[in-house]
Structure 1
Amino acid sequence: MHEESLCKCIVCDELKPRDQGIRIVTEFICGSCENEMVQTDVMDEKYPFYVHQMKQIWIHKNA
C-alpha cells in the first residue's frame, strides 16, 4: 500500500486507507472511529473525548 493512500485518523491517531473513512474539512476519521462515535450515547464516558477530537478539526482549520 502506498504511503499517499494512507491518512491519519484524528480520533485514534492511526494510519488507515483513505477509502476507509471520511474527510471533514481537511481532517480524516477512519470508518471504525466514525461508527463508534455515532453509536456513543451522550452519557457515555467516551463522549467528551469524541467532542474534543471533533473540535480539533476547527482548531486546525483556523490556526
Structure 2
Amino acid sequence: MEESVRQCCIICGQEKEFGITIISEFICESCEAEMVRTDVKDEKYPFFIHQLKRIWVQKNA
C-alpha cells in the first residue's frame, strides 16, 4: 500500500496531500481552486501573484 506524500503549499504554507506541482513548487488543491476563482479586482489577487512569483525567483536563484 502506497503512503500519501504531504507537501508544503507555496501559497498557504500548509502541508497537504493533493495538488499540483509547477516546476518544483507545490500548490494544494484548495489554493489552486481559489486562485482560479479569484477575479483580478479581488483584494487577494496581488497576494496570489506575489506567491506565484516565488516559483520563478527560486527557479532562477
Q: d(CA) in 2 for partners of 1:6 and 1:35?
A: 18
Q: Work out whether 1:31 is the aligned partner of 2:48.
A: no
Runs (5+) with no aligned partner, structure 2: none
Q: Work out whether 1:5 is the aligned partner of 2:5.
A: yes
- RMSD over aligned CA atoms reads 1.2
1:56 alignment partner in structure 2 = 54
Runs (5+) with no aligned partner, structure 1: none
Q: d(CA) in 2 for partners of 1:23 and 1:53?
A: 14
TM-score of the superposed pair, with normalisation by structure 1: 0.89
Deviation at 1:8, TM superposition (A): 0.3
Q: Secondary structure at the match of 1:5?
A: coil
Number of matched residues?
59
- 1:2-36 alpha-carbon deviations (Å, 9 max, x no partner): 6x81100000000011xx10000000000000000
Q: Which runs of 4+ in 1 moved over 6 A?
A: none
Q: Percent identity?
A: 58
